[in-house]
Structure 1
Amino acid sequence: MKKWWMEKIGYQIYPKSFYDSNNDGIGDINGIKQKLHYLNNLGIDLIWICPFYDSPMDDNGYDVRDFFNVAREFGTVNDFKELLKEAKKYDIKIILDLVLNHTSDEHKWFIESKSSSNNSKRDYYIWKDGKIVDGKELPPTNWGSFFGGSAWKKDSITNMYYMKIFSDKMPDLNWSNKELRLEMMSVAKWWLDLGIDGFRIDAVSHLDRAPFEDSRLGSGIVLDWNKFSNLPKVHEYLKEMNKEVFSKYDALTVGEVGGAASIDSALQYSGFNSKELSMVFNFDHNWCNNLNEINDYKDLRTNVIDLKHVFNKWQEAFKTEGWLPLNWLNHDQPRLMSQYGDQKFFKESAKMLATSLYLMRGTPFIYQGEEIGMTNYPFEKFEDFKDISSINYYKELKDISDTEKIFRVSKSSRDNARTPIQWDNSKYAGFSKVEPWININPNYHDINVLNNLEDSDSIFNHYKQIIKLRKTNNTLIYGTYKQLDLMNEKIYIYERESNNSLFLVINSFSNKDEEYDLENYYIDDVLLSNYKTTSFEKKILQLKPYESIVLKVRRKWWEKVEYYYMYQVFQVIMELELLVLKHIDLSIF
Structure 2
Amino acid sequence: MGSISWDRQNGFTNEPYWKDATFYQVYPASFKDSNGDGWGDLPGLISELDYLSDLGVDVIWVSPIFDSPQKDMGYDVRDYQKIYAPYGSIEDVDVLLRESHNRGMKVILDLVVNHTSQEHEWFQESRSSKDNPKRDWYIWKPPRYDADGTRIPPTNWRSYFAGPTWTFDEHTQEYYLHLYASDQPDLNWENAACRKAIYDNTMRFWLDRGVDGFRIDTVNKYSKRQDFVDAPVTDPNSPHQSAPEMWCNGPRIHEFIHEMNREVLAPYEAVSVGELSNTPDPRQVRPYVSAQAQELDMVFEFSLIRLGTGNILGPKYIYQPFPLSKMKTLTQKWQFVDGTDDAWTTVFVENHDNARAVCRFGDSSTPELWNKSAKTIALWQVTLTGTLFLYQGQEIGMTNMPSSWGIEEYKDVESTGFYEEAVQSGDPELIKKTLHGLGHLARDHSRIPFQWDASPNAGFAREGATPWMRVHDEYKSINVARQRDDPDSILSFYKKALTLRKEHRDLFVFGSFTLLDPEDESVFSYVKRDIKGHTDKMAVVTLNMSGKQQMGTDVTSILGDGARLVVSTQEGSKLVDGRPVLKPWEGRVYVNH
Q: 1:328 to 1:144 in 2, by over 3 A?
A: same
Structure 2 counterpart of 1:399, one-letter code: D
> Structure 2 residue aligned with 1:174, among 188, 192, 215?
188
> Structure 1 residue aligned with 2:493, among 457, 462, 467?
462
Structure 1 counterpart of 2:372, one-letter code: E
User: Which has the higher Rg, Structure 1 or Structure 2?
Assistant: 1
> Structure 2 residue aligned with 1:313, among 330, 333, 353?
333
- Residue 332 in structure 1 maps to residue 332 in structure 2: no
**Which residue is 1:14 aligned to?**
27
Aligned residue runs from structure 1 range 505-524, under 5 A: 505-516=541-552, 517-520=554-557, 521-524=560-563
Comparing 105-114 and 402-411, the one that deviates more: 402-411
Task: Deviation per CA, 1:61-111: give whole Å up to 9, x if none.
Answer: 010000011000100000110011100111011111111100000000000
Task: Deviation per CA, 1:256-276: give whole Å up to 9, x if none.
Answer: 012434212211111222211
Report how far residue 36 of structure 1 moved: 0.5
- Residue 407 in structure 1 maps to residue 407 in structure 2: no
> Structure 2 residue aligned with 1:536, among 557, 575, 592?
575
Q: Secondary structure at the match of 1:179?
A: helix
**Which residue is 1:483 aligned to?**
515
**Which residue is 1:92 aligned to?**
105
Q: How large is the Cα RMSD of the aligned pairs?
A: 1.8
Where structure 1 has 5 or more consecutive residues not aligned to the other structure, the ranges are 293-298, 555-589
- How far apart, in 2, do the equivalents of 1:305 and 1:408 lie? 22
- How far apart, in 2, do the equivalents of 1:217 and 1:523 lie? 60
Over the matched positions of the two proteins, sequence identity in percent amounts to 36
- How far apart, in 2, do the equivalents of 1:346 and 1:23 lie? 31
Asked whether the equivalents of residues 267 and 274 of structure 1 are also in contact (C-alpha less than 8 Å), the reply is no
Aligned residue runs from structure 1 range 237-316, under 5 A: 237-289=256-308, 302-316=322-336
- How far apart, in 1, do the equivalents of 2:296 and 2:241 lie? 30
Task: Deviation per CA, 1:278-322: give whole Å up to 9, x if none.
Answer: 001011112434889xxxxxx995521111111111213566231
Report how far residue 552 of structure 1 moved: 1.4
Task: Deviation per CA, 1:522-552: give whole Å up to 9, x if none.
Answer: 2342111111112112312111111111111
- Residue 217 in structure 1 maps to residue 233 in structure 2: yes
Structure 2 counterpart of 1:412, one-letter code: L
Structure 1 counterpart of 2:494, one-letter code: Y
Q: Secondary structure at the match of 2:208?
A: helix
> Structure 1 residue aligned with 2:371, among 347, 355, 361?
347
Task: Deviation per CA, 1:362-414: give whole Å up to 9, x if none.
Answer: 11111000110111112532321111111111111132177665334333211
- How far apart, in 2, do the equivalents of 1:523 and 1:481 lie? 21
- Residue 378 in structure 1 maps to residue 386 in structure 2: no
TM-score under structure 1 length normalisation: 0.90
Q: 1:3 to 1:412 in 2, by over 3 A?
A: same
Q: Secondary structure at the match of 2:190?
A: coil
> Structure 2 residue aligned with 1:38, among 51, 71, 75?
51
Q: Secondary structure at the match of 1:12?
A: strand
Where structure 2 has 5 or more consecutive residues not aligned to the other structure, the ranges are 1-13, 312-318
Aligned residue runs from structure 1 range 109-124, under 5 A: 109-124=122-137
Structure 2 counterpart of 1:269, one-letter code: Y
Structure 2 counterpart of 1:523, one-letter code: G
**Which residue is 1:150 aligned to?**
164
> Structure 2 residue aligned with 1:206, among 221, 236, 250?
221
Structure 1 counterpart of 2:259, one-letter code: E
Asked whether the equivalents of residues 62 and 107 of structure 2 are also in contact (C-alpha less than 8 Å), the reply is yes
- Residue 183 in structure 1 maps to residue 197 in structure 2: yes
Q: 1:448 to 1:201 in 2, by over 3 A?
A: same
Report how far residue 445 of structure 1 moved: 1.2
TM-score under structure 2 length normalisation: 0.89
Q: Secondary structure at the match of 2:388?
A: strand
Asked whether the equivalents of residues 309 and 441 of structure 2 are also in contact (C-alpha less than 8 Å), the reply is no
**Which residue is 1:228 aligned to?**
247
Structure 2 counterpart of 1:207, one-letter code: Y
Q: 1:318 to 1:234 in 2, by over 3 A?
A: farther
- How far apart, in 1, do the equivalents of 2:545 and 2:28 lie? 33
Asked whether the equivalents of residues 381 and 406 of structure 1 are also in contact (C-alpha less than 8 Å), the reply is no
Q: Secondary structure at the match of 1:451?
A: helix
The structure with the greater share of residues assigned to helix is 1
Q: Secondary structure at the match of 1:442?
A: coil
Structure 1 counterpart of 2:63, one-letter code: C
Aligned residue runs from structure 1 range 122-133, under 5 A: 122-133=135-146
- How far apart, in 2, do the equivalents of 1:313 and 1:425 lie? 41
